[in-house]
Amino acid sequence: MNRMAFCAIVAAAVTTPAAAQEVKNFDGPFVGVQLGWQQDRRIATTSTVPPVTTRVSGDGLVYGGQLGYDANMGGAVLGVEGSIIGRTGSNGSAALPFETGRTVNVTARVGWLLSPESLLYARGGYSNARFSTTNPAGNSANQGGYTLGAGFERALTDTVSARIEYAYSNYGSDAVPGIGGPVRLEYRRNGITAGFKLRF
């Protein structure tokens, strides 16, 4: 009987720490990197009568990093994230050339656990992008707007995960001088990125 009691105590001592050390995926602070494709679109509408609308776009490689925090609630994950990204390539046409600079995003996300290792999520928040042009009159501006997206994340280990995400961004509009009067410029964006996160 004493031997049985001793074995039960040893078993409890071994299994209790193991249960206490169980790791939750998608939980805690993280840093990450991302790489993908991005298309920037600019729509110019003149103030002439009748108005003339010109739509131009450009594609490029997008790259950047992020940091944030997730809270695994059991069946759902809530999180916040800040990121900064850049883009290669040129945009537009000879009539309406423009360049895309850095973009800063601050977003929140809510996710649903499909399994302990798989997360489907939606994201939304504030985005600020820098655009510059030499035509109609030349301007450079930081455009603030919103970004919305959805993605899938998979835990590869206790500390490393991989994700793929689509995002749409809208940066509103501004007006610049042009031949015949002001020109209204609108800014839109679509992007698909993949990346890795390291949790600590």
pLDDT tens figures, 78-136: 999 999 999 987 666 666 667 788 999 999 999 999 999 999 999 999 999 988 766 55
Mean local confidence (pLDDT), 32-53: 89
d(CA 108, CA 44): 31
Residue 7 lies in a domain: no
Mean local confidence (pLDDT), 133-154: 81
Give residue 111's pLDDT: 98
Give residue 42's pLDDT: 83
Residue 11 lies in a domain: no
Mean local confidence (pLDDT), 31-53: 90
Q: Which residues pair with 128 in a beta bridge?
A: 104, 144
Mean local confidence (pLDDT), 160-169: 98
- Looking at residue 117, its amino acid is E
CATH number, position 184: 2.40.160.20
H or E element in which residue 89 lies: none
Residue 15 lies in a domain: no
Burial of 64 (0-12, 13-18, 19+ CB in 10 A): buried
Task: Give the residue numbers spanning the domain of 190.
Answer: 26-199
H or E element in which residue 162 lies: strand 160-176
Higher pLDDT, 37 or 94: 37
User: Among residues of the chain, what percentage have pLDDT more than 90?
Assistant: 55
Residue 151 tokens read as 């993605």
Residue 65 lies in a domain: yes
Number of domains in the chain: 1
Mean local confidence (pLDDT), 36-45: 89
Number of residues written out for the chain = 200
Residue 73 lies in a domain: yes
d(CA 132, CA 135): 9
Residue 10 lies in a domain: no
Mean local confidence (pLDDT), 38-60: 86
Residue 6 lies in a domain: no
Mean local confidence (pLDDT), 133-150: 77
d(CA 68, CA 32): 9
Give residue 11's pLDDT: 52
Q: What is the per-residue burial (b if ≥16 Cβ within 10 Å, else e) of 22-51?
A: eebbbeeebebebebebbbebbbbbeeeee
Give residue 163's pLDDT: 98
Given pLDDT bands bounded at 50, 70 and 90, which one contains residue 19?
very low
- DSSP 8-state secondary structure symbol assigned to residue 19: H
Instruction: Report the chain's mean pLDDT, rounded to a whole number.
Output: 85
Phi then psi for residue 24, to 5 deg, are: -90, 130
**Are 101 and 127 contacting, i.e. CB atoms less than 8 angstroms apart?**
no
> Which of 40-44, 72-76, 93-97, 122-126 comes out lowest in average pLDDT?
93-97
Assess whether the previous peptide bond of 51 is cis (omega < 30° from 0): no
Residue 183 lies in a domain: yes
> Which of 12-26, 122-136, 171-185 comes out lowest in average pLDDT?
12-26
pTM for the full predicted model: 0.81
